[in-house]
């Protein structure tokens, strides 16, 4: 027998279904070519549950973007006057007509009430449905796809449709056509190398580095990086954070990467003893967990927490752990959640580092644009968002084994460089990698030009200058010279000492660089907050403006290149370049500059 609540719900559904207009014929919304290396295995199990995220248009987003640049440009009278959560949500809210029509469509498929969840602004609607219903709603067929190189598997389709009258009211629905694996920014040849001992810093040997604390760095740092090395190298030795009650820093974790407390404590005891009594908090997103069994410890998660939080003690650190396990087992009929890179929170940290990403072309433009817009929202609220620039130089992990060339995924199969995402989003700060002391460009530092996003105005002068100095015709046709260029900055990324499963070892990658740079951003935020000023927020307009001055606060990296796709890649040079950006931070100089911004 139906309860009163159930009876009322059924009646309401019936009334809405009766009132809804006759559904128009389906029309193709999006079609993609399967990325190189992915093979269709078989039709997806009809009972497999997927979590469909439906993105409604954000008609006021151009206004949000204007606010973002106004509060992020140091020459603006509104610099630092960040928007509130409510103000941002009002600027990304969909039009009521879009909400109504999408709700009517969902009701027609029996989805309403508790079956739906909405983002605070209402611009995303999420429904969990079996593949069989998703196929009916989207007039498509899902398959299980496998990736040859990694063994990963996904339930995806290469095309989906919507009723014609909904096309202008829905921007995107995923997971459908995105084949991104959200991989940590480290390849297997840069994985954990066990058995490293903490370097001997007691012999007094030094390397002259003019911009470092005291003009020199311990010679041991030329082979093994520690927090002490980074504080010396980036001119922050002796700085004591003063705004720990207000300032916060965070790192993100995906793909069942768990940050282990035992590893963290041992790392601090050995390398940051003055912070040995510290801890970090964990925020769980989309069913995320943080297992503490030692065998579950993640190299990436340990690296991020140990350096981001070890360098910024006593600034409170947060580890965002997001649910979802992308290696979908092809025979597994259990539901899998999609990875969501955002926290819907009121109390956001002022700086966030993420060492995850994928080839831009494996993320359909419609979805990449919406994800990028989410980062613009964070920037408008005063959050600095950093992403690793990638570890494949100008290429990717799926280059042709014979020629090492990289190919487009648009049906042309054209030879071209492969930019990474989200590093290519113009609303994040992309961090490349350096090595050695004094620094040179790390050979794997991801960099290049987006095929999705146009070059933002804050980059025009610097990138135009770089392109004007390239040898005529070099790499013609291999990159989009008018695209958003990256990285923006860089930091050390080779031979980082971490503790994993209670054993010391070394890791490399822009996975090292992003939490390192973010830590120094957090220290700059600390200085501003302690002086009564706002946090820095979206950094790029400030970074490019500073580098137009005689004293920029960055260590220019002029040696090295980032090979990939069968080429030598781009060269590091004086000024900005698509290998190391503007270079690495000089905290001492930057602190004075941002206090006067």
Q: What is the DSSP letter of 199?
A: P
Neighbour-count burial of 532, counting CB atoms closer than 10 A to its CB (0-12 exposed, 13-18 middle, 19+ buried): exposed
Question: Is 123 annotated as contributing to ligand binding?
Answer: no
The count of other CB atoms within 10 Å of the CB of residue 211 is: 22
Residue found under tokens 């050695």 = 436
For residue 357, what are the CA distances in angstroms to 76, 114, 255, 570?
32, 32, 12, 21
Q: Is 511 a catalytic residue?
A: yes
Is 300 marked active-site?
Answer: yes
Ligand-binding annotation for 263, yes or no, is no
Q: 57 CB contacts (<8 Å, ≥6 apart)? A: 94, 95, 98, 168, 169, 170, 171
The gap from C-alpha 546 to its chain's centroid, in whole angstroms, comes to 24
User: Is 398 noted as a catalytic residue in this protein?
Assistant: no
SS3 370: helix
Q: Which of 232, 304, 340, 391 is catalytic?
A: 304
Q: Are strands 384-388 and 429-435 parallel, antiparallel or unpaired?
A: parallel
Exactly one of 511, 513, 514, 552 is catalytic; which is it?
Answer: 511
CB 181 within 8 A of CB 147: yes
| DSSP single-letter state for residue 533 | P
* Strand 429-435 to 440-441 pairing: antiparallel
Which residue is catalytic, options 65, 123, 232, 300?
300
Strands 351-354 and 249-253: parallel
SS3 (DSSP) at 213 = helix
- Count of other CB atoms within 10 angstroms of residue 140: 20
In degrees to the nearest 10, what's the CA dihedral of 172, 177, 183, 189? -150
CB atoms within 10 A of CB 464: 13
Write out the H or E segment, with its range, that includes residue 374: helix 365-380
**Residue 543 marked ligand-binding:** no
Helix (H) or strand (E) holding 251: strand 249-253
How many of the other CB atoms lie within 10 Å of CB of 240? Answer: 9
Q: Which of 306, 431, 454 is nearest to 357 (CA)?
A: 431
Residue 228 CB-half CA count within 13 A: 21
Residue 390 in marked binding region: no
Provide the b/e sequence for 558-580 (b: ≥16 CB within 10 Å).
Answer: bebbbbbbbbebbbbbebbbbbb
The two three-digit tokens of residue 514, written as one number:
């992003």
Which residues are known to be catalytic? Answer: 300, 304, 511
Binding site residues for Ca(2+), as ranges?
A: 556-557, 575, 577
């Amino acid at each position: 027998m139906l309860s009163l609540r159930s009876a009322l719900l059924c009646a309401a559904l019936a009334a809405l279904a009766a009132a809804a207009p006759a559904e128009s014929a389906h029309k193709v919304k999006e079609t993609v070519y399967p990325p190189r290396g992915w093979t269709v295995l078989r039709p997806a199990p009809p009972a497999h549950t997927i979590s469909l995220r439906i993105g409604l248009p954000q008609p006021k987003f151009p206004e949000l973007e204007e606010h973002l640049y106004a509060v992020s440009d140091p020459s603006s009278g509104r610099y630092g006057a960040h928007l509130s959560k409510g103000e941002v949500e009002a600027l990304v809210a969909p039009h009521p007509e879009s909400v109504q029509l999408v709700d009517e469509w969902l009701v027609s498929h029996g989805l309403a009430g508790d079956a739906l969840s909405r983002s605070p602004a209402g611009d995303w609607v999420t429904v969990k449905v079996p593949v069989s219903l998703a196929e009916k709603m989207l007039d498509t067929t899902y398959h299980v796809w496998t990736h040859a190189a990694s063994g990963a598997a996904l339930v995806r389709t290469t095309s989906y449709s919507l009723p014609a009258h909904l096309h202008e009211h829905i921007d995107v629905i995923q997971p459908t056509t995105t084949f991104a694996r959200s991989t940590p920014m480290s390849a297997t040849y840069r994985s954990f190398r066990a058995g490293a001992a903490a370097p001997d810093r007691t012999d007094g040997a030094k390397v002259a580095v003019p911009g470092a604390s005291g003009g020199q760095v311990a010679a041991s740092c030329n082979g093994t990086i520690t927090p002490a090395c980074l504080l010396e190298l980036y001119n922050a030795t002796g700085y004591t954070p003063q705004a720990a009650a207000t300032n916060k820093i965070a790192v993100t974790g995906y793909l069942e990467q768990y940050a282990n407390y035992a590893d963290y404590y041992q790392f601090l005891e050995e390398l940051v003893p003055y912070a040995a009594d510290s801890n970090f908090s964990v925020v769980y997103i989309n069913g995320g967990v943080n297992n503490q069994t030692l065998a579950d410890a993640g190299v990436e998660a340990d690296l991020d927490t140990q350096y981001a939080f070890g360098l910024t003690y006593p600034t409170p650190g947060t580890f965002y752990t997001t649910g979802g396990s992308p290696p979908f087992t092809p025979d597994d009929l259990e539901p899998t959640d999609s990875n969501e890179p955002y926290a819907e929170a009121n109390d956001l940290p002022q700086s966030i580092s993420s060492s995850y990403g994928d080839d831009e072309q494996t993320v359909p433009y419609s979805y990449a644009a919406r994800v990028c817009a989410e980062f613009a929202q964070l920037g408008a609220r005063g959050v600095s968002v950093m992403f690793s620039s990638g570890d494949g130089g100008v290429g990717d992990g799926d280059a042709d084994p014979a020629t090492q060339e990289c190919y487009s995924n648009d049906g042309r199969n054209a030879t071209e460089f492969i930019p990474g995402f989200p590093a290519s989003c113009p609303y994040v700060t992309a961090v490349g990698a350096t090595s050695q002391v004094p620094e040179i460009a790390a050979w794997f530092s991801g960099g290049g030009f987006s095929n999705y996003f146009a070059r933002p105005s804050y980059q025009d002068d610097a990138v135009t200058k770089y392109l004007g100095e390239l040898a005529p015709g070099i790499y013609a046709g291999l990159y989009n010279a008018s695209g958003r260029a990256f990285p923006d900055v860089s930091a050390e990324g080779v031979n980082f000492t971490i503790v994993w499963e209670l054993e010391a070892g070394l890791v490399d990658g822009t996975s090292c660089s992003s939490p390192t740079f973010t830590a120094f951003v957090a220290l700059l935020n600390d200085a501003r907050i302690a002086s009564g000023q706002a946090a820095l927020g979206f950094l790029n307009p400030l970074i490019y403006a500073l580098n137009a001055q005689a004293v920029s606060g960055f260590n220019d990296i002029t040696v090295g290149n980032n090979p990939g796709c069968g080429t030598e890649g781009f060269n590091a040079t004086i000024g900005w370049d698509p290998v190391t950006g503007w270079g690495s931070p000089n905290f001492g100089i930057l602190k004075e500059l941002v206090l006067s911004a």
